Amino acid sequence: MKLGRVVGTVVSTIKSSGLNSYKLLLVSPLDLAAGNISSENGEVFVAIDLAGAGEDEIVLVSSGGAARVSAGTSDVPTDAAIVAVVDNVQIGERNAYSKG
């Protein structure tokens, strides 16, 4: 799973019906730099929200078939789903991130 930050929302009227009941969030991938969670140059992507994630929160995103497992149905045409809101990232004895 990828660590990402929710940076926005995407609205679409014309879409596959299987996406209808999901919120589409824009996610920016994160990385570690000098032991801290930091922005990364990776491309933003769009995921359905299965965890009630809010803007600026750090989340876990599952890709591929796993995104449909978490939706609880294989009929959702997505390849990415937010499956968790991250509370804490611990690196050794040190707290690299805590949800504010």
Interface residues with a copy of itself (CB under 8 A)?
A: 1-3, 7-16, 18-19, 24, 26, 28-29, 31-32, 40, 42-47, 50-52, 55, 60, 62-70, 74-81, 83-92, 96
Supply the minimum distance, in Å, between the C-beta of residue 67 and a copy of itself: 7
Specify whether the CB–CB gap between 83 and 50 falls below 8 A: yes
Copy the structure tokens of residue 67.
Answer: 């995104």
Of 21 and 31, the one with the shorter C-beta distance to a copy of itself is: 31
Supply the minimum distance, in Å, between the C-beta of residue 19 and a copy of itself: 6
Using the CB atoms, write b or e for 70-79: b if 16+ within 10 Å: bbeeeebebb
Supply the minimum distance, in Å, between the C-beta of residue 36 and a copy of itself: 11
Polymer length of the chain: 100
End-to-end Cα, the chain, rounded Å: 22
Of 13 and 21, the one with the shorter C-beta distance to a copy of itself is: 13
Supply the minimum distance, in Å, between the C-beta of residue 52 and a copy of itself: 7
Residue with tokens 């997505």: 78
